[in-house]
Amino acid sequence: MKRNLLLTPGPTKIPEQLLEVLARPIIHHRTPQFQNEIKEVSEGLQYICQTQNEVYTVPASGTGAMEAAVCNLLSPGDKAICVEGGKFGERWAEICKAFNVAPVIVKVEWGKDVTVAQIKAELDKEPSIKAVFVTLVETSTGVTSDIKSIADVVKNTKAVLVVDAVSGLGVTDLQMDNWSVDVVCSASHKGLMLPPGVAFVAVSPKAYKYMETSANHRFYFDLRKAKKALDKVDTAFTPAISIMIAMNESIKMIKTEGLQNKFAQYARLAKGVQAAAEALGLKLFAQPSCRSNVLTAICVPDGMSAKKIAKEMRDVHGITIAAGQGHVEDKIVRIAHMGCLDEYDLLTGIACLEKVLAKQGHKFEFGTGLAAAQKVYNSDACAPSACGCKH
Ligand code: PMP
């Protein structure tokens, strides 16, 4: 079988233990057997979100969780801050507009992170703002936002802080309760190493009050229905049964290692990829102070096409990375280091990137990127991974 190594920022590689669980015969969801799974998923997601708040699951991709947050929290005519420093920040504003919520856009240059001062200025100017929508890791740029500092400002206002943690959850620290985050949105196919199909929304009491009073239209994503069902250890509609069951297994694997250890592993993997890119003479797209551990966005050499590089790596060598999005679609490639990827997966990706760059005329000595990454990966010990990868 041809290699199919996913180094993409979602979906991510699925560990064999989880593939085995996903392949089991399906069970019915209105059974005591599945109720045990619901209970476990609910508690497991609280662990991953670092919260005591309830976490509601809906069968959807990550955008479903974002839409659920908007239509449940806000009413037509409300105002909400949307931080736009990339494609997924833009999505917050698009969803708001679809529900007749007026977005107050905070523009951020791609590759940089929003400052607390920018958000504070808008909140001071417009006290009627009811929500602040931000992105934990902006997957289109490889930038991580300083959610803790943003939360410190938002928590003293009437606004709720809503975090798109679709790519960042379980990969980079997000302490919902300790930091006073009101809503966390995420999904199954990134840090949780599962196929797409389960989205989830964690909701603070402050945010739930808004959900009870929102006048927006909603049906399938009505989180009041999700809550009512969860109170009876049930789901409002047919859930993505197999993925929910595998999610319990995935969270067990993460728990065995510990969230903080996982964050440290991803930081180390990211450092290796960043070192490799720089050793190859390539610029990193995100500023050093806000570079994410979820993925590395790498500028391709002038005159080269990121899309062509990604295509050749995938079609010829069986290694999938992502090109850019929006106006940098053809200017950057994005290599993820989340999920059950280990240093050997990333060294394989770097070796392949070297090969394709050389073929397209970039001048460097073969092995330069690999050597830089190896130096990082051999510089400190790393706990063995519970997912079976030898980190
Ligand atoms: N937000 C972020 C930060 C993402 O990375 C993604 C997916 N790449 C989404 C939202 C949208 O998720 P989905 O494609 O699963 O709907």
CATH number of 119's domain: 3.40.640.10
Residue 7 lies in a domain: no
Q: Are residues 168 and 81 in the same domain?
A: yes
User: Do 239 and 264 lie in a common domain?
Assistant: no
Last residue of a domain, one of 237, 256, 275: 256
Count Cα neighbours of 1 within 13 Å in the Cβ-side half-sphere.
Answer: 3
Query: 256, 290, 311: which is the final residue of a domain?
Result: 256
Do 39 and 159 lie in a common domain?
yes
Pocket residue to mutate for ligand 1, from 6, 63, 174, most atoms within 8 A of Cβ = 63
Q: How far is the CA of 374 from the centre of ligand 1 (A)?
A: 31
If we measure between CA atoms, which residue out of 189, 236, 227, 238 comes closest to residue 205?
227
Given a cut of 90, whether residue 90 has pLDDT beyond it is: yes
Q: Which of 84, 133, 139 to mutate to test the pocket of ligand 1 (most atoms within 8 A of CB)?
A: 139
pLDDT for 2: 79
pLDDT of residue 388: 43
Q: Is 9 among the domain residues?
A: no
The best mutation among 167, 185, 338 to test binding of ligand 1, ranked by most ligand atoms within 8 Å of the C-beta, falls on 167
For 325, the token pair is 């999005």
In the predicted structure, residue 70 carries a pLDDT above the cut 90: yes
Strands 143-144 and 79-84: unpaired
Does 2 map to a domain? no
- Pair (285, 180) in one structural domain: no
Q: Which atom of ligand 1 is nearest to the CA of 135?
A: 3
**pLDDT tens across 29-64, in order?**
999 999 999 999 999 999 999 999 999 999 999 999
Q: What is the pLDDT of residue 33?
A: 98
What is the pLDDT at residue 1?
57
How do residues 322-334 score in pLDDT, each as one tens digit?
A: 999 999 999 999 9
Q: What is the pLDDT of residues 187-224, one digit of tens each?
A: 999 999 999 999 999 999 999 999 999 999 999 999 99
For residue 381, pLDDT beyond 60: no
Q: How confident is the model at residue 386 (pLDDT cuts 50, 70, 90)?
A: very low
Domains held by the chain: number:
2
The pLDDT value recorded for residue 391 is 37
For ligand 1, what atom is nearest to the CA of residue 165?
A: 3
What is the predicted pLDDT for the residue at 389? 43
pLDDT at 360 over 60: yes
93 in the same domain as 233: yes
Residue spans of alpha helices (H) in the chain: 16-22, 32-49, 62-73, 87-98, 116-125, 147-154, 176-179, 205-213, 223-231, 241-257, 259-279, 306-317, 343-359, 368-377
Residues 285 and 382 in one domain: yes
162 vs 176: CA distance, rounded Å: 10
Residue 95 has pLDDT above 70, yes or no: yes
* Whether 283 and 212 share a structural domain: no
pLDDT at 176 > cutoff 60: yes
In a shared domain, residues 247 and 279: no
Q: Where residue 183 falls among pLDDT bands split at 50, 70, 90?
A: very high
Which residue, 221, 256, 291, sits at the end of a domain?
A: 256
* 235 and 347 share one domain: no
Q: Which atom of ligand 1 is nearest to the CA of 61?
A: 15
Q: What would the pLDDT profile of 258-315 be if each residue is shown by its tens digit? A: 999 999 999 999 999 999 999 999 999 999 999 999 999 999 999 999 999 999 999 9
Domain-embedded: residue 1: no
The CATH number for 283's domain is 3.90.1150.10
Q: Residue 230 falls within a domain, yes or no? A: yes
245 and 277 co-located in one domain: no
- How crowded is residue 372: how many other Cβ atoms within 10 Å of its Cβ? 21
Position in ligand 1 atom list of the atom nearest CA 167 = 5
With DSSP H G I counted as helix, E B as strand and the rest as coil, what are the percentages for the chain, rounded to 5? 45, 15, 40
Whole-number Å distance, alpha carbon 185 to ligand 1 midpoint, is 10
Instruction: Determine phi and psi for 86, rounding to 5 degrees.
Output: 170, -175
Range of the domain at 79: 16-256
Q: Same structural domain for residues 45 and 57? A: yes
Binned at pLDDT 50, 70 and 90, residue 175 comes out as very high
In a domain, 168, yes or no: yes
Residues 37 and 165 in one domain: yes
pLDDT computed for residue 387 by the predictor: 43
DSSP string, 48-88: HHT-SSEEEEEEE-HHHHHHHHHHHH--TT-EEEEEESSHH
Inside any domain, residue 83: yes
% of the chain exceeding 90 in pLDDT: 96
Of 152, 264, 16, residue with least CA distance to 132: 152
pLDDT in tens, 116-165: 999 999 999 999 999 999 999 999 999 999 999 999 999 999 999 999 99
Domain assignment of residue 11, yes or no:
no
pTM of the model: 0.96
Q: Among positive and negative, which fits the CA dihedral 165, 376, 257, 188?
A: positive
253: confidence class by pLDDT, cuts 50, 70, 90: very high
List all residues whose CB is within 6 A of at least one atom of ligand 1: 9-10, 61-63, 88, 135, 139, 164, 166-167, 187, 196
| 250 pLDDT higher than 50 | yes
